[in-house]
Chain A
Amino acid sequence: MDVFDNLAAGIMAVLTPGNMLLLLAGVMLGMIVGVMPGLGPSAGLAILLPLTFTMDPTGAVVMLAAVYYGAMYGGTITSVLINTPGESATVASTFDGYPLAKAGRAGPALVMAAVGSFVAGTVGAILISVAAPVTASVAATFGPPELFLVVVLGLLTLVVIIGGNRLLGALSALIGFAIATVGIDIGTGQQRYTFGSVELINGIDFIPVAIGLFGVGEILHTLWRGGHLEKLGYFNVSARSRGFWPNKKDYKESAGPIARGSLLGFFVGATPGAGATVASLMSYNLEKSVSRTPEKFGKGAMAGLAGPEAANNAASSGAMVPLLTLGIPGSASTAVLIGGFMMWGLQPGPLLMEQNPEFAWGLIASMYLGNVMLLLVNIFCIPAFASIARVPFRVLGPVIIVVCVLGTFTVNGSIIEVGIMLACGVLGFFMRRFGLNPAALVIALVLGPMAEESLRQTLIISGGSFDIFLERGTSQVLLAAMVVMLALPLAGKGIKKASSTAMARVGRKRRDDTDVDANAGEDREHDKVGSA
Chain B
Amino acid sequence: MTAVHANATTGARSTGRAPGWVRPKTVFLTALLVVLAVYTEMAFALEWRTAAGRIGPGFFPRIVGITGLALTLWSLVAAVRAPAAEDEVVALEDEVGDADLGKHPRLLALMVLASLVFLVTLVSLGAIVSSAVFLLAMLFLLNRQHLLLNIAVALGLPLALYLLFQTLLNAGLPEGVLPRF
22 of the cross-chain contacts (CB-CB < 8 Å) are: A51-B164, A83-B96, A91-B92, A164-B89, A165-B89, A167-B74, A171-B71, A171-B72, A178-B36, A185-B56, A193-B61, A223-B108, A225-B104, A226-B99, A226-B104, A227-B101, A394-B139, A395-B143, A398-B134, A398-B139, A409-B173, A456-B59
* A174/B165 in contact, CB under 8 A: no
A432 to B138, CA, bound (A): 23
* B139/A395 in contact, CB under 8 A: yes
User: Which of chain A's residues have a CB closer than 8 A to the CB of B56?
Assistant: 185, 187-188
- Chain A at the B interface: mostly helix, strand, loop or mixed? helix
* A429/B108 in contact, CB under 8 A: yes
* A229/B101 in contact, CB under 8 A: yes
* A193/B107 in contact, CB under 8 A: no
**B167 close to A (CB within 8 Å):** no
Closest residue of chain A to B45, judged by CB? Answer: A192
Name B's A-contacting residues (CB within 8 A).
Answer: 4, 8, 24-25, 28-29, 32, 36, 39, 42, 46-47, 49-50, 53-57, 59-61, 64-65, 67-68, 71-72, 74-75, 78, 88-89, 91-94, 96-105, 107-108, 111-112, 115-116, 118-119, 122-123, 127, 131, 134-135, 138-139, 142-143, 149, 153, 157-158, 161, 164-165, 169-174
* A406/B96 in contact, CB under 8 A: no
* A455/B55 in contact, CB under 8 A: yes
* B78/A397 in contact, CB under 8 A: no
User: Which of chain B's residues have a CB closer than 8 A to the CB of A228?
Assistant: 104, 107, 142-143
* A84/B153 in contact, CB under 8 A: no
User: Which of chain A's residues have a CB closer than 8 A to the CB of B88?
Assistant: 433
**A12 close to B (CB within 8 Å):** no
With A230-B101, A410-B171: A434-B96 Cβ-Cβ less than 8 Å: no
User: Which of chain B's residues have a CB closer than 8 A to the CB of A87?
Assistant: 93
A187 to B123, CA, bound (A): 36
CB proximity of A90 to chain B, nearest CB, Å: 9
Give which listed residue, B25, B91, B123, contacts A415 with CB less than 8 A. B123
Q: Which 7 A-B pairs have the closest CB atoms?
A: A226-B101, A435-B89, A185-B57, A410-B171, A398-B138, A394-B142, A174-B68
A407 to B24, CA, bound (A): 32
Closest residue of chain B to A231, judged by CB? Answer: B99
User: Which residues 401-437 in A have Cβ within 8 Å of B in the complex?
Assistant: 401-403, 405-407, 409-410, 413, 415, 418-419, 422, 425-426, 429-430, 432-435
With A50-B171, A397-B138, A405-B118: A225-B161 Cβ-Cβ less than 8 Å: no
**A53 close to B (CB within 8 Å):** yes
Closest residue of chain B to A399, judged by CB? Answer: B157
A51 to B166, CA, bound (A): 11
